A and B are shown apart, each in its own frame.
Chain A
Amino acid sequence: MSAKTDRIDRLAELTAARADEGGHGLWYEAFKRLRRNPMAIAGAVIVLVFVLIAILARVLAPYEPDAQTWLGETSTATMTFPGARAGNLLGVDHLGRDMLSRLLIGSQQSLLVGVVATVLGFSAGALLGGVSGACLGLFGTAGRRVDAVLMRFNDMALAVPSLLLAVSVATLLGQSLITVMIAVGVTQVPVFARLLRGSMLAQSHSDYVMASTALGVRKSRIVLNHILPNSLGPVLVQVTLSLATAIIEAAGLSFLGLGGVDAAHPEWGFMLAESQQYLSGALRFAVYPATAIIVTALGFTLLGEALREALDPKLRK
């Protein structure tokens, strides 16, 4: 009898041990799913390389980005610019500066603008959306009114094309790096606000919120401890995706000449703008910064999409 039960227990344990280590929260499970997804790995590698390059740019760059060392070898009239060679791996630009150095240093600007603008957009948006969502959930009719007003304004902001909004902000505040950050950040605000509020609204209708209410938990605690943490998944995904958009938009603003760019701080979008006149002679002037923008944005997008999949409740067992 005991031999039988032992054997059954052992077999049952073997079966149960398949995936059940126990004591892991949802974030850990999501991370495990993320690790298994090749899309996430690819995205993470790109993002990591980009961040490392940006941090170590000054060390990695072989020359000063604004040193016009090889100006003598270039000629804009005949469209002759030295291409890739031992000293300059990606060649020399129209002012005789090392392309590789400029690209490497340019990553700093992109990272800075991307991160600061997204943080700005996220914090303002999350505040707005959070307040709106909390009002809706907490304060009955009056709360619904506050939410309605906030969200109508938000919808108006959302209706303005983001680049147009950024251009307006940039022209209003004048040209500087800060302007670009604010301009790009402002366009993200309504997106985050809408997202967090919608997510909170969905969570506030869930059964476990009613269960907490039935326990007698205070509404403010329910919002902070249950609704908010469970609403952050989609927002986190949006943060990652926003970094990609922010980098592209920042490049776009610089391209339009609205960035605070000087020669010592090259920026990918500005490099693209500069390349326009020489496209017939040196396509690579445009190809390098464009590739850098695309690959970086792709990295963040891949990571964001993979994160979305990993956090999808439908995929949970």
Chain B
Amino acid sequence: MALLEVEDLAVTFHRRGTEPVRAVDGVSFTVAEGQVVGLVGESGCGKSVTSLALMGLLAKRGVTVTGSARFEEADLLQMSPSSMRDMRGARMAMIFQDPLSSLNPVVPIGLQVTEVLQRHRELRGDKARAEAADLLDRVGIPDPTRRLKEYPHQLSGGMRQRALIAMAVACRPRLLIADEPTTALDVTIQAQILELLKDLVAEEGTALIMITHDLGVVAGLCDEINVMYAGRVVEAASRRPLFARPVHPYSVGLLASIPRLDAPRGEKLTPIPGSVRDNIAWADGCAFAPRCTHAVEACVEGPPELTRTYTGHAYRCVNPVSREEAEAVAAPAVLPTPSLTEATPSEEESS
């Protein structure tokens, strides 16, 4: 039984004097209890708007949201604002990209955490403070009782993100949505935060929707991955099949265009030509067709349907990438990964 079932979610923005923009254009995916689901794509692919729509955080004016999102027997998109408020922070919670602007700068961290506890768990006074200190401790903030009195600007970026995560998990939500939670952080801090999220998911059985542009992050974290492009899911699969045998030309193109840390020097990158400005409307065909090296006539005869194989691998493409080509991209030549705990081989051997 799925915890969250998103069906045909579409979000359209209307702005005075401009054409309406369909930021999310029919997105469907499911999240099972305790599962980590990745939404991957570049800026403008609609991944963040999807999460905001699920949390009911989009502005009411000038935005049309259609489709359905069943979460624990209720449709999030039909819910009244007040029951949505009860839901947010308690049953589902969100972690944002920029921890500094997501925290109130003039209120101490402690108060911001206890506020959540008060609102949803009716904890007050010393009880709430003790619980808040406990939470900060669990997300790895050292000296939590002192930190409770500090203001967001006194914390480092990594600590702020931990504080935000503490607030998000304060009520043990069933679903956590993390929107680029590590993009603003340095890579060593990112590793800490990802480790923390992994632990939380494993210990609490919380389901997590991970929104990111970084294929490396999803490769280490997600069970199921949805690759999004121009407001639609173009490929969806479990982690291993997606990376071992990508099918959609966009997924393949992304993998071929990013430099891998373990690639030997001299390997060429194969970029995806053009930019998202070259996209065509989904109604006319595949939005990616103008940039696609595999485009055929059928690509522009209408929007491509979602094809689902018996293994559960789904893709939206009329001319998918062949097995040989995909495997060549998915398994490039790599350098041996050095061990950290054992003695490293001397340089003569390795070079």
A and B touch in the complex (CB under 8 A): yes
Interfacial residues, chain A to chain B (CB-CB below 8 A): 3-4, 7-9, 11-12, 14-16, 18-19, 36
- Whether the pair B280, A4 counts as a contact (CB closer than 8 A) is no
Shortest CB-to-CB span from B101 to chain A, Å, is: 14
Q: Is B300 an interface residue (CB 8 A)?
A: yes
Q: Is B334 an interface residue (CB 8 A)?
A: no
A7 vs B297: C-alpha distance when bound (angstroms):
9
A18 vs B281: C-alpha distance when bound (angstroms):
12
A16 vs B275: C-alpha distance when bound (angstroms):
11
Residues of A within 8 A of B19 (CB): 18
Q: Which of B16, B279, B295 contacts A15 (CB 8 A)?
A: B279
Decide: A36 near B299, CB < 8 A? Known: A15-B279, A16-B278.
no
Shortest CB-to-CB span from B141 to chain A, Å, is: 33
A208 vs B115: C-alpha distance when bound (angstroms):
43
Shortest beta-carbon contacts, A-B, top 8: A11-B280, A36-B17, A12-B290, A4-B297, A7-B300, A12-B278, A8-B290, A11-B284
Decide: A11 near B299, CB < 8 A? Known: A16-B277, A16-B278, A36-B16.
no
Shortest CB-to-CB span from B108 to chain A, Å, is: 30
Q: Is B92 an interface residue (CB 8 A)?
A: no
Q: Which of B18, B296, B297, B300 contacts A11 (CB 8 A)?
A: B300
A18 vs B279: C-alpha distance when bound (angstroms):
12
Count of residues in B whose CB is under 8 Å from the partner chain = 18
Known: A7-B300, A12-B278, A18-B19. 5 other contacts (CB 8 A): A4-B299, A4-B300, A7-B297, A11-B285, A19-B18
Decide: A3 near B280, CB < 8 A? Known: A8-B290, A18-B19.
no
Residues of B within 8 A of A9 (CB): 290
Residues of B within 8 A of A12 (CB): 278-280, 290
A303 vs B73: C-alpha distance when bound (angstroms):
52
Q: Which of B18, B281, B295 contacts A4 (CB 8 A)?
A: B295
A12 vs B279: C-alpha distance when bound (angstroms):
6
Residues of A within 8 A of B280 (CB): 8, 11-12, 14-15
Q: Chain B interface mostly helix, strand, loop or mixed? A: loop
Q: Is B55 an interface residue (CB 8 A)?
A: no
Q: Is B289 an interface residue (CB 8 A)?
A: yes
A8 vs B287: C-alpha distance when bound (angstroms):
10
Residues of A within 8 A of B295 (CB): 4, 8
- Whether the pair A15, B281 counts as a contact (CB closer than 8 A) is yes
Within 8 A of A (CB), among B287-340: 289-290, 295-297, 299-300
Q: Chain A interface mostly helix, strand, loop or mixed? A: helix
Q: Please encode chain B, from 264 to 290, with 1 for each CB lying within 8 Å of some chain A CB and 0 for all others.
A: 000000000000011111001100011
Residue of A nearest to B284 (CB): A11
Shortest CB-to-CB span from B297 to chain A, Å, is: 5
Residue of A nearest to B300 (CB): A7
A7 vs B284: C-alpha distance when bound (angstroms):
10
Shortest CB-to-CB span from B193 to chain A, Å, is: 29
Residue of A nearest to B277 (CB): A16
Residues of B within 8 A of A4 (CB): 295-297, 299-300
- Whether the pair B290, A11 counts as a contact (CB closer than 8 A) is yes
Residues of A within 8 A of B18 (CB): 19
A3 vs B295: C-alpha distance when bound (angstroms):
12
Residues of B within 8 A of A16 (CB): 277-278
Within 8 A of A (CB), among B231-283: 277-281
Residues of B within 8 A of A18 (CB): 19
Best-surrounded residue of B284, B285, B296, B299 (most CB of chain A within 10 A):
B284
A7 vs B299: C-alpha distance when bound (angstroms):
10
Residues of B within 8 A of A8 (CB): 280, 289-290, 295, 299-300
Residue of A nearest to B287 (CB): A15
A12 vs B273: C-alpha distance when bound (angstroms):
13
A168 vs B265: C-alpha distance when bound (angstroms):
76
Residues of A within 8 A of B300 (CB): 4, 7-8, 11
Residues of A within 8 A of B296 (CB): 4
A14 vs B16: C-alpha distance when bound (angstroms):
21
Shortest CB-to-CB span from A141 to chain B, Å, is: 30
Residues of A within 8 A of B299 (CB): 4, 8
Q: Please encode chain B, from 101 to 131, with 1 for each CB lying within 8 Å of some chain A CB and 0 for all others.
A: 0000000000000000000000000000000
Best-surrounded residue of A3, A4, A9 (most CB of chain B within 10 A):
A4
Shortest CB-to-CB span from B287 to chain A, Å, is: 9
Residues of B within 8 A of A7 (CB): 297, 300
Shortest CB-to-CB span from B276 to chain A, Å, is: 10
A12 vs B295: C-alpha distance when bound (angstroms):
13
Shortest CB-to-CB span from B298 to chain A, Å, is: 9
Q: Please encode chain B, from 141 to 175, with 1 for each CB lying within 8 Å of some chain A CB and 0 for all others.
A: 00000000000000000000000000000000000
Shortest CB-to-CB span from B85 to chain A, Å, is: 29
Shortest CB-to-CB span from B45 to chain A, Å, is: 16
Residues of A within 8 A of B285 (CB): 11
Shortest CB-to-CB span from B23 to chain A, Å, is: 14
Within 8 A of A (CB), among B5-55: 16-19
